[in-house]
Amino acid sequence: MTMGRWRFLAALDVVRWPAIEPSPRATVHGMSQFLIGSIATILLGAVGWIALFIARPIRNFLRLRGEIRHETVRLANVSRPDLTSVQWQSGNEAERENTIGPIREAQTIILSLGARSMSFGEFSGPANLCLKHLGFNPAAAGRALVDLSDSYWEESERDEHRAVIAKALRYPL
């Protein structure tokens, strides 16, 4: 019964029994589409890898730049104690530690950020080249942060180091 049904459909010209061979032109067109698709896939994969090796370090740098800005603003008003005062000379160790504590904390934080910025500037490869092209200089900012951490006992030198940091990280002055 099913054979009769197929014969009926074939008679109506709904099902074509002879196999239609693709033309040589269609075969060449399909092959070129395959090659173009393969090349595009390889190129997009390469762009993805490049973006992975450049974009992630740049994002990390921008995050570090934000941390540096936050901490330098937060610690900008830490002033050094007057070491010649009578309270300093006659005070006990606990009072002296309370007086020096904020400066030591500021030095530690700024030194840590400086070390991170210097290491980024020295070892980031292609991302560092992109950042230098954009006008950032993480290594110079790191050196200035280390110098700033050393200058917490000298009020006059801080502004010079802050200016170098602002220029290297492109902060508004």
Residue 1 in domain = no
Task: Report the number of distinct structural domains present in the chain.
Answer: 1
Residue 46 in domain = no
Residue 133 in domain = yes
Residue 172 in domain = yes
User: What's the CA gap between 30 and 142, in Å, rounded?
Assistant: 56
**What pLDDT, in 10s, does the model give residues 72-112?**
888 888 777 666 665 556 666 777 777 778 888 889 999 99
Res 171 pLDDT > 90:
no
Report the percent of the chain where pLDDT is more than 90.
29
pLDDT band at 16 (very low <50, low <70, confident <90, very high): low
User: What's the CA gap between 161 and 74, in Å, rounded?
Assistant: 16
> What SS3 class is residue 28?
helix
Span 147-154, average pLDDT: 83
Q: What residue has token string 């500037």?
A: 121
Residue spans of alpha helices (H) in 75-137:
86-90, 93-123, 126-134
pLDDT given for residue 68 in this prediction: 94
pLDDT given for residue 109 in this prediction: 94
- Cβ–Cβ < 8 Å for 88, 96: yes
Name the pTM for this structure.
Answer: 0.69
Residue 39 in domain = no
Residue 4 in domain = no
- Cβ–Cβ < 8 Å for 141, 165: yes
pLDDT given for residue 53 in this prediction: 82
Span 37-55, average pLDDT: 87
Residue 84 in domain = yes
pLDDT band at 26 (very low <50, low <70, confident <90, very high): low
pLDDT given for residue 104 in this prediction: 87
Q: What tokens appear for 46 in the block?
A: 């390469």
Residue 7 in domain = no
List Cβ neighbours of 33 (8 Å cut-off, separation of 6 or more).
none
